Amino acid sequence: MADALSVIPAAVLRNLADKLYEKRKNAALEVEGIVKQLAGAGDHDRITAVITLLTTEFTYSPQANHRKGGLISLAAATVGLTTEAAQHLEQIVPPVLNSFADQDSRVRYYACEALYNIAKVVRGDFIIFFNQIFDALCKLSADSDANVQSAAHLLDRLVKDIVTESDQFSIEEFIPLLRERMNVLNPYVRQFLVGWITVLDSVPDIDMLGFLPDFLDGLFNMLSDSSHEIRQQADSALSEFLQEIKNSPSVDYGRMAEILVQRAGSPDEFTRLTAITWINEFVKLGGDQLVPYYADILGAVLPCISDKEEKIRVVARETNEELRAIKADPAEAFDVGAILSIARRQLSSEWEATRIEALHWISTLLSRHRSEVLTFLNDIFETLLKALSDSSDEVVLLVLDVHACIARDPHHFRQLVVFLVHNFRLDNSLLEKRGALIVRRLCVLLNAERVYRELSTILERESDFDFASIMVQALNLILLTSSELSEIRDLLKQSLVNPAGKDLYVSLYASWCHSPMAIISLCFLAQTYQHASAVIQSMEEEDINVKFLVQLDKLIRLMETPIFAYLRLQLLEPGRYIWLFKALYGLLMLLPQQSAAFKILKTRLKAVPLYSFNGEQLKRMPSGDSYQFRNVPDGFRTIEDGDVAKDGGSSRNGINFAARLQQFQQMQHQHRVLTKTQAKLRNMSTSLSKHYMQEPQREEEPRKPQSIEVNVPPSRSSSKRGPGQLQL
């Protein structure tokens, strides 16, 4: 200290602390000259003493003017040292950096100015302090004082120039510093960071691409900044990096893919578009590197397929197709289970397009890796069943395609049909809204006869009779009306002459017994008219209810459609199809006369031309509109299909109709017993409810005397009865 005082005049030291800038500046020039002389003499000890004096007495002084003078003088000393300044930087730079955090904005300004002048002198030797300087500049970029910000920008540009021309800069040491600050929200700091990333990336000897995963997320975060300029700068930097990735032979796709997947779900539209664009390029370029990340990528792409922004949807669809085109092998880290998990999750998406693509993925995996998919079947099966209730017909059809693909195996086929019936039982609206679509599609995909046989087997054992009746009625209506089931209808029409038709008829009969109208429809379809007549005549009073009449109304109307054209044409030969007439008249007798169905059927029967009867039949016909057939024409006898054969002809076709009728009657008896039991339970419940509701009232109200009726013979006056009264 004494050496320094002996070198620097007291007046100079006094002026360094003066409040006037000019005096401080002139004093600093004096210091520069003194240090230059000492450096020329090689007296570095005294130079060290001078720097120590300027640091302790001025830059660390509690007085602001002292600190200002100290900063100017340290810069002046560096200028005086010129080429020998490097060996004293350890003394000079730290107090200047410390002043960047000074409370006085003018001191911070002078610190920027001082470091700028120091850097101009030492250039590359300055790099050893880069991290500390970068940290200080990062803070100053957001300084509250505009002059300080301006000075910091000038210093920042100089430091960038020094770094780009230096071979001593360590990117490895810099990246952690950059990564720590990438998520700062201050717009000035963000501009500062993007500026440095861009500058360093432009230096050929610095491999910023190799460290891109460390700050990629921060850049994407800036894409949603409120400042248009920052968004533009971040986008420009990202575009440059993406171009470098395309041209680079070696890129770490994996780490970046994780970041992109997260950003593809950003609420900011521009961020999503950029992320999905990057993912698109990665899928094209990444190859095997991305196999472990396929599930995550798919999880990001599928929601974007339904994005509100068209550009995002277009890129997402392209990416999805690219991803699906890659035929990865489970042996090469391709995780089928993870892909299925993503597809299953996206089946719950609110967007139809996403659900559709999720189903396409499941179909693709089934076609390529069936055995692996089936091992995860329990994880996705319930979700696939729920998807049958989807509001979109296209989704439901695709779900059925997936189910059909799974159900190629007998075990899975039965499991599908069992679960399907179970779902119909739990959700009546599913049966009502989607039942026909589901059953028809499954019939196309899995063979209609196979589907109907399995459904019949399950419903035959159904314990919920009400559901079984509803389900059978639905299946019967589909059977009678759907074009997809025309082959089954043709087969059933041959039930009396074709063993396969007979076998199908018997198979369906067991479950069709749950509904009288379904059985009658089946008999009409199979042309077992005599049995249809027997079924109609076997029905009891309890069977003729509103539900039955509604179903009967539907059947009468269906008989006017092209499906039953063969039956209507058979009415032209009443002698041959006597039991058909009897069955139809049986239905007519069950219908209320004022109903539309009664009028339709009566009109149809009246339309039968008289010439279709032979003379013997006409003689036996009573006058009026109705036809009664008590006898078959001489020399003929009726067989089960309604056809006639010469005496001696025998054709029992293997169907035990007596057993079938008994089977039907037993099932209907069980239905009646259940209905009566349910009615009793409802009555008991109602009675108990009334009892408990009236109990308090009985306690409060006095009992009223009740009259006792005695059996007295009625008087003459009481024996007279009015209209509608019965004499007992």
pLDDT digits (tens, 9 = 90+) for 163-184: 998 888 889 999 999 999 998 9
pLDDT of res. 160 = 93
Does position 628 have pLDDT exceeding 50, yes or no? no
What pTM value is reported for the model? 0.75
pLDDT of res. 718 = 37
Average pLDDT over residues 586-611: 90
pLDDT digits (tens, 9 = 90+) for 143-160: 999 999 999 999 999 999
Integer-rounded Cα radius of gyration of the chain:
48
The pLDDT mean for the chain works out to 85
Q: Which of 158, 143, 144 shows the shortest CA–CA distance to 113?
A: 158
pLDDT of res. 643 = 43
Residue limits of CATH 1.25.10.10 in the chain = 1-168
pLDDT of res. 701 = 44
Does position 384 have pLDDT exceeding 50, yes or no? yes
Helix or strand holding residue 51 (H, E): helix 44-54
Does position 492 have pLDDT exceeding 90, yes or no? yes
CATH no., domain 1-168: 1.25.10.10
At 629, is the pLDDT very low, low, confident or very high (cuts 50, 70, 90)? very low
For the domain made up of 170-199+208-247, the CATH class stated in words is: mainly alpha
pLDDT digits (tens, 9 = 90+) for 329-348: 777 778 899 999 999 999 99
Does position 13 have pLDDT exceeding 50, yes or no? yes
C-beta separation of 241 from 212 below 8 A: yes
Q: Which residues contact 466 (CB under 8 A, 6 or more apart)?
A: none
Cα–Cα distance for residue pair 561/457, rounded to 1 Å: 29
CA atoms within 13 A on the CB side of 142: 14
Does position 3 have pLDDT exceeding 80, yes or no? no
pLDDT of res. 706 = 38
Cα–Cα distance for residue pair 575/631, rounded to 1 Å: 10
pLDDT digits (tens, 9 = 90+) for 662-690: 999 999 999 888 888 887 887 776 666 66
Does position 622 have pLDDT exceeding 50, yes or no? no
pLDDT of res. 205 = 87
pLDDT digits (tens, 9 = 90+) for 514-573: 999 999 999 999 999 999 999 999 988 877 888 889 999 999 999 999 999 999 999 988
pLDDT digits (tens, 9 = 90+) for 691-719: 555 555 444 444 443 333 333 333 333 33
Which residues is 638 bridged to in the sheet?
Answer: 644
Q: DSSP state, 497?
A: T
Cα–Cα distance for residue pair 270/717, rounded to 1 Å: 99
C-beta separation of 592 from 554 below 8 A: no
The percentage of residues in the chain with a pLDDT greater than 90, rounded to a whole number, is 64
